[in-house]
Amino acid sequence: AVMRAGDAHRARAATAMNVQSSRSHAIFMLGVRRRDLRTQQVRAATLHVVDLAGSENVRRSGATGNTLAEAKNINRSLLAL
């Protein structure tokens, strides 16, 4: 339910290269804890699932207006990583 709610709020836009181009990054963190009942030792781990917005060639994507501005910002943010 949490994943569906997050997915419903993701921004998407159609371009010439992709019918449902993701316009936003998504990060999902799943924490797991385990306790050994004999020793009471606790182990913990976190799984990070990251879906980055797609980088597209602005010229080939045919993006204009807001979609073009988003594409430029997405490409800039991916370069920062």
Does pLDDT of 45 surpass 80? yes
- Look at the block and give the residue holding tokens 């010229």: 59
> What pLDDT digit, counting tens, does each position of 51-77 carry?
877 766 777 778 788 878 887 888 888
Most confident of 1-5, 27-31, 62-66: 27-31
> What pLDDT digit, counting tens, does each position of 16-25 carry?
666 777 777 7
Handedness of CA 35, 39, 40, 45 (dihedral sign): negative
In this prediction, residue 64 carries a pLDDT of 80
| pLDDT band with cut points at 50, 70 and 90 for residue 33 | very high
Mean pLDDT of the chain: 82
